[in-house]
Amino acid sequence: MGKGLFSAKSIQNQLFWSTFMSVLAVVSYAQEVINTNTHRLEQVADGVYFATGTGDIYTMSNALIIERDEDIVIVDSHITPAAGRALLDSIRIVSDKPVTTMINSHFHYDHSNGTPAFGEGLEIIGHQVTYDKLTGDPENEHTYQSSLRRFDSTVARLENELSNVTDSDERRQIQNQLDYWKRHVEAQSEIVFTPPTQTLRDKMTLYRGGREIQLHYFGRAHTGGDLAIYLPDEKIVFTGDMMLGGISYMGDGYVTEWADTLQGLKGLDIELILPGHGPRITDIERISFVQAYYTDLTEEIRRLKDLGYSAEEASARADLRQHEQTLGVRQLGANLEAVQRMYDIWDGLIQ
């Protein structure tokens, strides 16, 4: 599924296009998109590319490529070593510099399990919590385990659909999807959880190679150790999953603290937000929309808990529909996993 403008097939073509694109970039700064066989690389500043998967291989999360004078720093590595290798292949289309440094936005499997693809000598920087999670029992983290079940059930569902469909076009379509998900499930067998080699708790700044890269921890949000990766000169921030265009997965989150953490993010001078999933965000005001949701969710669930409702009941009754305009919340209710976790935190079962 090579999409769009430049689905160059041969390496030579790709090199031609990459040279051509970098010339173009001088005149038309921060506008270019390069489509490789597996990725869409959006040039968001000179030498900075926002990488999103285009569907040939399952990547699940976004990544950021930051070129320095002598080397390349990337933020996040996708979901499997195979997806990480595809990212590396895509990087090779825009630069032949070595990838020396990986920054983990957080510990989740879909952002960090591609790391081994970038070789042994890699410097991996992450929050202390990310280190603790990836050296703890990452294989049995509930979020990772539920993803394995989800992919298995996707394969089972497609196998079932295939056995019930007779139309040849439809069969071909389902078979393609099935092959895609089977490839992903197979790719999981190669996973080796790879922790940071260097950690921080609050802030770190990298100055090497003509580029300032700031790593900020503003507090707990999507996990206990989310980093915002900030390029002050470019006014760009990569937020991992602490700030998406909408509501993030809350299964490892700290909903009651999330809005405060996003307040820290608002303290940065930013013109562009690059989230861990979904497209770039130019409307910086979205931070306030998302912040308001977590604040209201906290208040609403607290109110229902105080009335004596169970987590299940609170999850069904919570009314957050005032966020329909900004976040598309049309249905009554809130995510049960998130609500249960809020209860557990309030009840002192989770620290």
Look-up of token digits 């020396």: 100
- Does 133 bind Zn ion (CB under 5 A)? Our answer is no
Residue with smaller CB distance to Zn ion, 118 or 144:
144
Please check whether residue 108 is in contact with residue 84, taking contact to mean a CB–CB distance below 8 angstroms.
no
- Does 341 bind Zn ion (CB under 5 A)? Our answer is no
- Does 337 bind Zn ion (CB under 5 A)? Our answer is no
Q: How far is the CB of 124 from Zn ion (least distance, A)?
A: 17
Q: How far is the CB of 341 from Zn ion (least distance, A)?
A: 14
Residue with smaller CB distance to Zn ion, 209 or 245:
245
Per DSSP, helices labelled H in 28-141 are 81-94, 109-112, 128-135
Number of Cβ within a 10 Å radius of residue 155: 16
Q: How far is the CB of 315 from Zn ion (least distance, A)?
A: 21
Q: Which of 108, 133, 216, 341 binds Zn ion (CB under 5 A)?
A: 108
- Does 220 bind Zn ion (CB under 5 A)? Our answer is no
Stretch that binds Zn ion, among 152-160, 183-191, 200-208, 237-245 (CB under 5 A): 237-245
Instruction: Report how far residue 142's alpha carbon sits from residue 146's, in angstroms, rounded to the nearest whole number.
Output: 6
Stretch that binds Zn ion, among 19-27, 105-113, 267-275, 321-329 (CB under 5 A): 105-113
Per rule CB under 5 A, count of chain residues that contact Zn ion: 2
Please check whether residue 20 is in contact with residue 27, taking contact to mean a CB–CB distance below 8 angstroms.
no
- Does 241 bind Zn ion (CB under 5 A)? Our answer is yes
Q: What are phi and psi of 222, to 5 degrees?
A: -70, -30
The tally of CA atoms less than 13 A away on the side-chain side of residue 349 is 6
Residue with smaller CB distance to Zn ion, 78 or 108:
108
Stretch that binds Zn ion, among 91-99, 103-111, 198-206, 286-294 (CB under 5 A): 103-111
Q: Where are the beta strands (DSSP E) in the chain?
A: 33-35, 39-45, 48-53, 63-67, 72-75, 99-103, 123-127, 198-200, 203-206, 213-216, 228-231, 236-240, 272-275
Residue with smaller CB distance to Zn ion, 8 or 274:
274
Q: How far is the CB of 241 from Zn ion (least distance, A)?
A: 4
Q: Which residues bind Zn ion (CB under 5 A)?
A: 108, 241
